Every structure is written in C-alpha cells, then in structure tokens.
Amino acid sequence: MKKKEFIRRVAEVAGTGRTEARRAAEAVFSTIAEALKQDGRIVLTGFGTFSITDRKERSWRNPLTGNVYRVQAKRFPKFRPSDRLKESVGES
C-alpha cells in the first residue's frame, strides 16, 4: 500500500475528506519523527514501539575486488510490533 491509498482508507474509516485525512496522517508522521529525535522512543500500546538504534562503525570488504571500506556509524529508526498487532496480522 502506498501513501495515497493509505490516506484514502483513513478518510473512509474516519468519515472525513481526503484533505483532512492527509493532514492528519502528515501530522502523525511528523510527530513520530520529532519524538524520536527528542526522546528516542515512542510506545503505542496495542500497536508497537518506535525506537532509535545506534549502529557502530565497521569495515566492509567487497568480495569481488577484495577492497576494504569503512562504513560510518549511524543512527536509524526501528519498529517493534506489539503482540496484539502480530496476532491481528496473523489472522487471515
């Protein structure tokens, strides 16, 4: 599902227009991003947990050429679904 389809479905479920649903979705996405920057963790009970993970600097070797490269350390977002979400997705 792409963002446009997601917004259309949110509008249907909420009984609102697509413009209002798009604004609401954008607000949720930007709020999650800002909260991760500030706090590093968001717990949405019944849905899952967003967090920030640090990846250490490491070396990587190209198997074709044998050249060794340095991969810089970085932070990236991670999502862990709740048991309730896992169960609801598992039911077909």
DSSP 81: E
91 to each of 23, 63, 86, how far by Cα in Å?
Answer: 31, 42, 9
Cβ atoms of residues 20 and 12 within 8 Å: no
What's the confidence (pLDDT) of residue 72? Answer: 95
Question: pTM of the entire structure?
Answer: 0.73
One-letter-per-residue 3-state SS of 1-70: CCHHHHHHHHHHHHCCCHHHHHHHHHHHHHHHHHHHHHCCEEEECCCEEEEEEEECCEEEECCCCCCEEE
Q: Per-residue pLDDT tens for 47-90?
A: 999 999 999 999 999 999 999 999 999 999 999 999 999 999 88
> What residue type is assigned to position 27 of the chain?
A
Give the domains, in start order, of the chain with CATH numbers: 3-90 (4.10.520.10)
Banded pLDDT at 91 (limits 50, 70, 90):
confident
